């Protein structure tokens, strides 16, 4: 009777509200309004469930709602660890198509592990979890069922240079009692802690070791305090020389990063006399070679060239080629590229540089062949190679026709219904989780249908769907679906503010695409906000320069304002470098002061050499991506205006001025006459 009265009361309240709003009490209107009211009830219920205020939830008001599993999730989470594993598994099975299943499994593993309910833990686990604390709980539970596997996994968890969660203590304590974690493992971890700069953990671990290790312990602590003492270290360290690998790798790493020149000299003296394994020796050489190249340490290049063929190190090979390019040693650049594995050489970047090297050495036929290979890729070097040959860019664009027939079936999927409902109750993050899990599990055909659905929603102005569309193409690996990967959004604002601040609007679009993937709510770990990822301080400064009030942390998330401020800021940077978009784009990512310093310290007589001389890998990739994205956006916009046009592509990666510029201090506006 109580339940019936509540349902009647809710129905009368609904009818009364309909009458007040003037809506007719027809079935369609009543259904639509009822959905709205149940969404309101669900929003309130979810807020109460998160706060563990279940007594405030009106179960009748949300009965049958598509998001009911979210309330069940919080109820079951509160019932852990007392809830039986069978109940958890029923929930997981009932919500198998939702992220809720994985989240609940993780919560149960944590709760059962903390409570020592290991049989229940194994009953809900589907293999080793991702989170470290849960891995430790899982391996502790597994010790009784698969001892060897759990011991090996537990020891691997132990060998880390950082502190592990408290959840790992029972596992580690047991493995120590069973001597799986023995003195060697304690020493190894202490050396890893040294490498990580974690002196407290290093000392804690060293103090665990017995008398047989005291000579090694004393040596390690003394060397940490004075790295110059490394050259006086003994040939053999620890019982049966077992401490040597960890000690010399850790000490050499610390010295290499502190003073690469001194590390090189010390290694020249140590290398021939110390007792360490070939693997440890190779690790030391690789680290030393890397920093010697990064820091251009005098007197080390010959040694690097001698050891590099013995190292399986992509990062050192890349640095060696970049060093050769910086000094215009074209033959050396070619030789080092040709020593890369064949699959590595096939990358458009290295095909482009092989062509440039051949060109410089007068081997035009070979250069043409390598340029031709590079043009097959849709990236910065592929486009640069196409410009060299006067060819149109290879976009490898896949055209997908709108599929109106599939949209109804996609909309009917339970996970899509949940995503739509979550959007309605202002839970866009949860909605995206639901959506992307469905995409990742989908067949290629269904994933394309989902992308079409997202494109349709975005095209009709539904908030958040442009970013969701881009994320869909990434999750499903639809790299050739350019219209979906680079959708039109905020075009009017980019055009308007680009013209206002004399900035190419397609370049602004490319920056936003790289910075935020067109997510207006994007927040970086560094605090950058919005489509163009503006730092709050930068946004305030630019606002004042435009005569606007400071937008505050959340005001800058407004897409129109974010684009306006980002366009103005980039316009100022562009003027700093005389309109050179390569330098300005690098400065947008790394900061103008760094780019000023790079231009003052280096002198590149070609745009491609400037890009390779950018010391930050992230910034090099950023510049290449943004310039490539700009071409794609401009090409898609032109094709939209002139469909089916089959002429040579007039769109250029760079302007003539950018191609022919000298990238040095003369590029700075204050250094120009």
Residue pair 451/422 in contact (Cβ under 8 Å)? The answer is: no
Q: How far apart are the first and last CA of the chain?
A: 90
As given in the structure block, the two tokens for residue 94 are 């009932």
**Which of 157, 214, 216, 148 is CA-nearest to residue 185?**
157
Helix (H) or strand (E) holding 586: helix 581-590
| CATH code for residues 313-377 | 1.25.40
Residue pair 358/370 in contact (Cβ under 8 Å)? The answer is: yes
Task: Give the per-residue pLDDT at 10.
Answer: 39
Of 552 and 512, the one with more pLDDT: 512
Residue pair 560/493 in contact (Cβ under 8 Å)? The answer is: yes
> 497 Cβ partners below 8 Å, 6+ apart?
503, 505, 508, 563, 564, 567, 568
Task: Give the per-residue pLDDT at 16.
Answer: 38
DSSP state of 95: T
Quick one: 64 exposed, middle or buried, by C-beta within 10 A (0-12, 13-18, 19+)?
Answer: exposed
| Cα of 652 vs its chain's centroid, Å | 29
Average pLDDT value for residue range 288-294 = 98
Q: Which of 515, 618, 640, 658 is catalytic?
A: 515
Q: Is the pLDDT of residue 362 over 90?
A: yes
Helix (H) or strand (E) holding 161: none
Residue 87 burial (CB count, 10 A): 15
As given in the structure block, the two tokens for residue 418 are 């949940």
Measured CA to CA in angstroms, residue 382 lies from 47, 347, 395 at distances of 51, 9, 10
pLDDT tens digit string along 543-594?
999 999 999 888 999 999 999 999 999 999 999 999 999 999 999 999 999 9
**Which of 5, 33, 37 is CA-nearest to residue 19?**
33
**Which of 573, 561, 397, 570 is CA-nearest to residue 490?**
561
Question: Of all residues in the chain, what percent carry a pLDDT higher than 70?
Answer: 93
Find the length of the chain: 673
**Which of 291, 289, 321, 293 is CA-nearest to residue 307?**
289
Task: Give the per-residue pLDDT at 8.
Answer: 34
What is the distance between the alpha carbons of residues 275 and 328, in angstroms, rounded to a whole number?
A: 40
Q: Is the pLDDT of residue 1 over 50?
A: no
**Which of 608, 567, 603 is CA-nearest to residue 588?**
567
Residue 314 burial (CB count, 10 A): 11
Query: Out of 1.10.530.10, 3.40.50.970, 3.90.1150.10, 3.40.228.10, which CATH number does the structure's domain 491-521+557-671 have?
Result: 1.10.530.10
Task: Give the per-residue pLDDT at 437.
Answer: 97
What is the distance between the alpha carbons of residues 432 and 434, in angstroms, rounded to a whole number?
A: 5
Average pLDDT value for residue range 73-79 = 98
Residue pair 357/331 in contact (Cβ under 8 Å)? The answer is: yes
Instruction: Tell me if residue 515 is catalytic.
Output: yes
**Which of 48, 30, 123, 112 is CA-nearest to residue 79?**
112
pLDDT tens digit string along 494-506?
999 999 999 999 9
Average pLDDT value for residue range 1-30 = 41
The domains of the chain are located at 2-66, 75-126, 182-310, 313-377, 491-521+557-671
Average pLDDT value for residue range 126-144 = 97
As given in the structure block, the two tokens for residue 615 are 């010391």
Report the sign of the C-alpha dihedral through residues 417, 420, 426, 431, in that order.
positive
- For residue 401, what pLDDT band results from cuts at 50, 70 and 90? confident
Task: Give the per-residue pLDDT at 552.
Answer: 86
Measured CA to CA in angstroms, residue 471 lies from 111, 506, 524, 632 at distances of 32, 20, 16, 18
Residue 537 burial (CB count, 10 A): 10
What is the distance between the alpha carbons of residues 32 and 50, in angstroms, rounded to a whole number?
A: 27
Task: Give the per-residue pLDDT at 643.
Answer: 58
DSSP state of 165: P
Q: Is the pLDDT of residue 26 over 50?
A: no
Q: Is the pLDDT of residue 37 over 80?
A: no
Average pLDDT value for residue range 373-399 = 96
What is the distance between the alpha carbons of residues 304 and 646, in angstroms, rounded to a whole number?
A: 50
| Cα of 462 vs its chain's centroid, Å | 26
What is the distance between the alpha carbons of residues 202 and 187, in angstroms, rounded to a whole number?
A: 9
- For residue 461, what pLDDT band results from cuts at 50, 70 and 90? very high
C-alpha torsion angle, residues 208, 210, 213, 215 (rounded to 10):
100
DSSP state of 459: H
Task: Give the per-residue pLDDT at 399.
Answer: 86
Omega into 341 within 30° of 0, i.e. cis? no
Q: Is the pLDDT of residue 646 over 90?
A: no
| Max CA pair span of the chain | 94
As given in the structure block, the two tokens for residue 13 are 């309240």
Measured CA to CA in angstroms, residue 297 lies from 286, 303, 508, 613, 621 at distances of 15, 11, 39, 16, 25
Mean of pLDDT over the chain: 92
What are phi and psi for residue 557, nearest 5 degrees? Answer: -80, -15
Q: Is the pLDDT of residue 331 over 70?
A: yes
| Cα of 249 vs its chain's centroid, Å | 29
What is the distance between the alpha carbons of residues 203 and 525, in angstroms, rounded to a whole number?
A: 32
- For residue 641, what pLDDT band results from cuts at 50, 70 and 90? low
Residue pair 450/438 in contact (Cβ under 8 Å)? The answer is: yes
Phi-psi region of 346 (alpha: psi -120 to 50; beta: other; left: phi over 0): alpha
Residue pair 275/244 in contact (Cβ under 8 Å)? The answer is: yes
Of 649 and 533, the one with more pLDDT: 533
Residue pair 326/613 in contact (Cβ under 8 Å)? The answer is: yes
């Amino acid at each position: 009777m109580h339940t019936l009265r509540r349902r009647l009361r809710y129905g009368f309240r609904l009818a009364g509200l309909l009458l007040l709003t003037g809506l007719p009490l027809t079935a369609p209107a009543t259904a639509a309004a009822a959905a709205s009211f149940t969404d309101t009830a669900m929003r309130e219920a979810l807020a109460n469930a998160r706060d563990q205020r279940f007594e405030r939830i009106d179960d009748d008001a949300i009965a049958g709602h598509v998001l009911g599993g979210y309330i069940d999730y919080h109820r079951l989470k509160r019932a852990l660890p007392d809830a039986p594993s069978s109940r958890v598994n029923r929930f997981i099975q009932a919500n198998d198509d939702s992220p809720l299943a994985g989240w609940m499994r993780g919560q149960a593993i944590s709760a059962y592990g903390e409570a020592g309910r290991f049989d229940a833990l194994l009953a809900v686990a589907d293999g080793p979890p991702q989170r470290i604390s849960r891995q430790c709980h899982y391996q502790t539970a597994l010790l009784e069922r698969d001892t060897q596997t759990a011991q090996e996994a537990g020891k691997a968890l132990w060998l880390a240079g950082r502190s592990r969660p408290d959840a790992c203590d029972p596992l580690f304590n047991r493995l120590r009692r069973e001597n799986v974690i023995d003195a060697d493992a304690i020493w190894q971890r202490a050396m890893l802690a040294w490498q990580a700069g974690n002196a407290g953990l290093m000392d804690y671990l060293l103090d665990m070791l017995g008398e047989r290790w005291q000579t090694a312990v004393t040596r390690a602590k003394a060397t940490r305090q004075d790295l110059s003492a490394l050259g006086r270290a003994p040939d053999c360290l620890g019982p049966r020389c077992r401490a040597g690998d960890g000690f010399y790798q850790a000490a050499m790493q610390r010295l290499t990063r502190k003073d690469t020149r001194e590390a090189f000299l010390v290694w020249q003296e140590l290398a021939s006399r110390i007792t360490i394994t070939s693997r440890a020796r190779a690790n030391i050489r690789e680290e030393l070679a890397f920093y010697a190249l990064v820091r251009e340490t005098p007197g080390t290049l010959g040694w690097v060239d001698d050891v590099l063929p013995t190292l399986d190190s992509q990062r050192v090979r890349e640095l060696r080629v970049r060093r050769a390019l910086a000094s215009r040693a074209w033959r050396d650049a070619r030789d080092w590229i040709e020593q890369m594995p064949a699959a590595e050489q096939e990358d458009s970047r290295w095909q482009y540089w092989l062509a440039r090297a051949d060109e410089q050495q007068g081997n035009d036929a070979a250069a043409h062949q390598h340029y031709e290979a590079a043009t097959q890729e849709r990236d910065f070097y592929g486009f640069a190679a196409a410009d060299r040959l006067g060819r149109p860019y290879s976009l490898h664009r896949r055209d997908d026709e709108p599929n109106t027939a599939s949209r109804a079936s996609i909309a009917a999927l339970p996970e899509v219904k949940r995503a739509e409902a979550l959007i309605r109750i202002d839970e866009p993050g949860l909605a995206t989780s639901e959506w992307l899990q469905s995409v990742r599990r989908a067949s290629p055909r269904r994933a394309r249908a989902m992308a079409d659905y997202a494109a349709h929603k975005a095209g009709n102005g539904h908030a958040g769907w442009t970013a969701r569309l881009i994320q869909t193409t990434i999750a499903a690996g639809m790299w050739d679906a350019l219209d979906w990967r680079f959708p039109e959004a905020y075009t009017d604002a980019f055009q308007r503010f680009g013209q206002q601040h004399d900035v190419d609007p397609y370049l602004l679009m490319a920056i936003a695409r790289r910075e935020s993937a067109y997510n207006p709510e994007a927040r970086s770990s560094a605090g950058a906000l919005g489509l163009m990822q503006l730092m709050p301080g930068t946004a305030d400064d630019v606002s004042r320069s435009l005569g606007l009030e400071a937008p505050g942390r959340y005001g800058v998330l407004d897409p129109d304002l974010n684009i306006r401020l980002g366009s103005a800021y980039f316009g100022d940077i562009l003027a700093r470098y005389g309109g050179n978009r390569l330098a300005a784009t690098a400065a947008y990512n790394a900061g103008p002061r760094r780019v000023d310093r790079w231009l003052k310290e280096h002198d590149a007589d070609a745009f491609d050499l400037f890009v390779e001389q950018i010391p930050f890998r992230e910034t090099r990739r950023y510049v290449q991506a943004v310039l490539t994205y700009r071409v794609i956006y401009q090409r898609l916009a032109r094709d939209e205006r002139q469909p089916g046009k089959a002429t040579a592509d007039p769109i250029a990666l760079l302007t003539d001025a950018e191609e022919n510029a000298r990238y040095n201090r003369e590029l700075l506006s204050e250094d120009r006459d």
